[in-house]
Amino acid sequence: MPLEPSSTPFAATVSHDVSALDGMDPSTLRTLAKSLMERIAQDAKHSTHHESQLQSELQLRQARIDALTVEIRLLRHLRFGAKTEAMDAVQAKLFEEANAEDLGAAMQQLAQLGIKTTPATPKARPTRQPLPANFARVDIAHEPENTTCGCGNPLSRISQDVSERLDYVPGEFRVERHIRGVWACKCCAHLRQEAVATQIIDGGIPTARLLAQVLIAKYDDHLPLYRQGEIYERAGIQLSSSTLADWVGACGAALAPIAQALKTQLLRAQVLHADESPITILARKGEKTRG
């Protein structure tokens, strides 16, 4: 169902009638997403010199938002819609994980563009459980280097904010406690508090080391997320496959610039090598194997 040229921008259609996408089948959504990407390329190719640079950037940004909106609708349909293909439980878990990772990456990219998304069917937000008390705690203090107010009087430490993040070092989990002291000047009521470094997942509990562990276990050790969840549960922490998939998707969005740089570097080469060794698997019926 290709899109016909229209004076009404597709952004308005998506923004004001997003519910219309819920009733579309996957084939129609794929066609719509393909048409959107073609429109992005056409807009970039035919943009005139009379358009300001700011206007062009806004149009490309909105087109990207439209494409991501359609992609999220498609991924949600694939994840929560009716399943017509029969597959065993292990295969289903693997496909659901990959879909959940793509969905997490798309939503993370929309968040980076400043767009908040809401599920088609609102559900109660799960309550974050406290991290296990038996895990070792590592305190990391964030205090201002200068504790003298602009008026010349010393600042007094009046309170502190403590946030905990789940960390992983080879072989064990631990908890990082980020302690941010609040300092105040009694003379002019000035408050000062040190900022915490930016995290890969804003507001999330995993540290960069834990995210690296999940990615290495999945892509280097070939451990599916549901198996990782079982391993982590034996270590004393419950991390669902959906949570881990969201983390993987967010990491994919964060690593996208590096992946693009690697792709650019590879395409400069005259010859590319790939491992095309066949993998032997069991057939669905019987005990024979096939390549």
Do 147 and 98 belong to one domain? no
Listed residues 112, 139, 156: the one ending a domain: 112
Radius of gyration from C-alpha coordinates of the chain: 25
CA distance 215 to 255: 12
Which pLDDT value is given to residue 52? Answer: 67
pLDDT of residue 36: 81
User: In 3-state terms, what secondary structure has residue 163?
Assistant: strand
pLDDT digits (tens, 9 = 90+) for 50-68: 566 777 777 777 777 777 7
Q: Is residue 42 in a domain?
A: yes
The CA distance from 105 to 200, in Å, is: 12
Torsion on CA atoms 69, 72, 73, 75, rounded to nearest 10:
160
Is residue 124 a contact partner of residue 139, using CB atoms and an 8 Å limit? Answer: no
Over residues 145-166, the pLDDT tens digits come to 899 998 888 999 999 999 999 9
Residues of the chain with pLDDT under 50: 1-16, 84
Please report the pLDDT score of residue 83 as a whole number: 52
Note whether residue 282 is domain-resident.
Answer: no
DSSP 21: G
**183 vs 147: CA distance, rounded Å:** 8
Same domain, 42 and 108: yes
Q: What is the pLDDT of residue 25?
A: 72
Of the three residues 58, 87, 112, the one that is the final residue of a domain is: 112
Domain count of the fold of the chain:
2
Domain span at residue 174 reads 129-197
Last residue within a domain, chosen from 46, 78, 112:
112
Same domain, 146 and 91: no
